[in-house]
Copies of this chain bind each other. A is one copy, B any other.
Amino acid sequence: MDKNTKRTPAALKILDAASQLFYWKGIHSIGVETIASEAGVTKKTLYDRFGSKDQLIVAYLEERDRQWKKHLDNYLDRIPDDKPLQKILSIFDALEKWLETNSQRGCAFVNALAELPEASHPGRKVIFEEKRWLKQLFATFLRHLEFDQADEIAEKLLMLHEGITVTYSMNLSTNGIASAKETVQLILNANQ
């Protein structure tokens, strides 16, 4: 957000176009030429603002991260801080809505990781950090609930989170994510 206010109008259009194209068509199948023309902008402008395709990829991932966290906050903020159980459940509600509106092609981070095998690519840091962050968010709420082994349970919840996303994108979750939420309840009940 701080980062976005300092972006020029053309940079915003580029990031917008790149986000859609990268997500829906894949990172490597889309060329900078396509992104520039889709954004109604010159390739020169793209390179002046972002430096390289790799840096644009990083910006795309960071922006996706920002949007997901903003979306998630809309859900978390409605739950009072003394209801950590409901906070956890609301993460899955947020995910459900997110999948319906922004993620018909699966998790942008998982997909991007598939296309970024080089250990040194800076985009990978963004991806790993995003998942680690979510796991820690689960763990924090679990600790408030005074669960033993908060980290272990957080791991299970994260697994579910990722599993839903994959199956949803393959049209294998026939009941929306209701199945997943039942399993969440099961895990929480079992360890309390």
Q: Which residues of A contact B (CB under 8 A)?
A: 24-26, 28-29, 105-107, 110-117, 127-128, 131-132, 135, 151-152, 155-156, 158-164, 166-167, 169-175, 179-180, 182-183, 186-187, 190
Contact = CB atoms under 8 A, between A and B. Distances in A.
Contact of A186 (B24, B110, B186): B186
Contacts of A163: 158-164, 166
Nearest to A170: B131
A183 B135 CA distance: 17
Contact of A167 (B26, B152, B155, B173): B155
A21 to B, nearest CB: 10
Main secondary structure of the interface of A (DSSP, over half): helix
A135 B171 CA distance: 12
A159 B183 contact: yes
Give this chain's copy count: 2
A129 to B, nearest CB: 11
Contacts of A180: 156, 159
A171 B111 CA distance: 16
Given A166-B110, A183-B187, A117 B26 contact: yes
Contacts of A107: 166
Contacts of A113: 106, 169-170
24 contacts: A24-B117, A25-B117, A26-B28, A26-B115, A26-B117, A28-B28, A28-B29, A29-B115, A29-B117, A114-B114, A127-B170, A152-B175, A155-B172, A156-B180, A156-B182, A158-B163, A159-B160, A159-B166, A159-B167, A160-B163, A161-B163, A162-B167, A183-B183, A186-B186
